[in-house]
Structure 1
Amino acid sequence: MSTSASILQEETSIDEFFNVMATETLALFEHLEFDFLEEFDVFAPARRGRTRDHHPPALFRAFLHCYYKNVYGIRPVTRELQNTVVWLSCGFDRPPSRDAVDRFLTDLEHVVDEVFDRLVEQAACRGLLDLTYSIDSTDVRTMPADQDASKGYDPTAEEYYHGYGCTIVSTGQKIPIAAEFTESKQAPEETAMRVTCDALAVEKPIWMLGDSAYDTLGWHDHLLAAGVVPVAPYNARNTDDPKDIEYRVEARIDEHSEDVQLKQSTLDETYNRRSGVERTNDAVKDCGLGHVRARGRVHARAQVFLALCLRLVIAITNDERGDNPGSTVITL
């Protein structure tokens, strides 16, 4: 090694070295701190007086890095973290063991929805939400070896699959703001109501869009009572006297308000924006939702919310860097 190279090595810190590298991994963590994970009791040492081998923020960064690089599953993640550049850039002082990675994912499942909520709050503070929310369910496919998974059917692909489901409310540029992991793609009305309430707790929109599966009186009346206009196509199922309407909200407003009127052209134009939630589903699948490698419901749920978290982290990072928050990649 030359004298100049030796001096450079001595004077350049690890942080400066990795900043020079400017990897996508470091860009993921440039604008967000994950120290709030330390607040969750589930990550406390198992025995009194015992110290952690690895801290939650570093392990969370590690999973975000791996999902961004399309690395899924406990063993592949552990192998990826043997790379010196990776484990140092994620904040470790040594590579974590397979048991540490597995234990973190299991513990994370208990609070991963709260972690997701914290990131949603950060997205909202940055003005990434808009006044139109959309709700939809998507399938979450997993391995046939997962005995907890349900058997589903995809009519588009004309094939059966093993998996779960996820109901997502999105807004803005492919920003998920509320979600629920479900046993199958077809979620019960109770789930739709719970996810809708979670979304309204973030910020109140003007519109909430859903397909005909959300044509229920309870969902419509709850939103109208909250001052939000629900837009879902009328489904005349199980009725001998169908209404002459395109959207359920038309009938609800006629029955309960004499002062409010909505043009069908306005409803049509608004409903056309519902494709945004489908683009959000695709974006989250690019972040890992479409590559769940789990045996059991606990790890599957954790991985689903990790994918949702990664989508938020990418959106926030791109926005902070002056790039398109709707992009699923970080451009250096």
Structure 2
Amino acid sequence: MVPISKKLSIILLCSFVCILYAIVIGITNLDYLFKHKKIILLLSNPDKVYQIAFSADKEVFQLFPTLLNSIFKNLHEYEKANVHIITMPDISEKDIKILQSFSMNKFDKKIALLFYPFNYKLKYTRTLKHVSEATMCRLLLPNIIDKSIDKLLYLDTDVIVNTPLRELFGININSQCGIVARSSTKADLINEWLKKDKIYPHIIYNGTKSFNAGVLLISLNELRKNHFTDKAMEFVEKWGLNDQIILNLYCNGEYDELPMQYNFWAGRDDYRNTSAHGIVHFAGPNKPWQPNYQPYEEQVSISN
């Protein structure tokens, strides 16, 4: 007859083997699921949501589907975008509803549109004829956008996104002004514009470099901390300066440099350098929706 103590030892050993087997099988199954079923742990790896902003008047509002589509095509499976659109008074509720309907049907909840009516009366000098007053909206971004949002990508409406946004949003914003931008090829461009508007030498730009404001990675918290909008409005009310001049005066050349591929200037940069076509910016009077503008026809057609 087997002693009770030995029976208990056998039972405990069998139980231990069963538990160990269950643990091993469980780990194996989990490993399989993680590798092959793409399980997301929502608490540790939630969807990444990018904050993007642009502004528009009636003239360019109809072009938004192309820009939005180019953003959508470069979102990873677990990435989303909140797109903040500042609208000028000539954009109607009907226009907004049409774009909302398009977005809901096309982008499967990966892009959320948030609209902000721009009803401010600004004194504005149109330094460049092809630049709309709608661009002045970026001066108010720190006040308009929810205070919980810090890192924001501002895009002009004449861009096409051809690259995933995660690397761009991974760029650190180290400058005290809170702006990452691509430098212009002419360091003295701001003073040239000030002279054109007959404001120089009342205002002189002293920075050693200046930037194009069509693609900006912004720390809204830094702009808020620096009271950027208040300072910008002083320039607008007194001198009627445009937004790009004001942004450069604010940074005074002390901004972080944006890699070329995130603001590739169509018509000025070498379009044959396709590796640099991360964000193609159709800066200048020639635009991609014009029938006679052909060099980037492929990028535009891909985004439609």
User: Smaller-chain TM-score range?
Assistant: under 0.3
Instruction: Say which structure is richer in strand.
Output: 2
Greater Rg by CA: 2
Given the two structures, how large is their TM-score scaled by the length of structure 2?
0.26
Given the two structures, how large is their TM-score scaled by the length of structure 1?
0.24
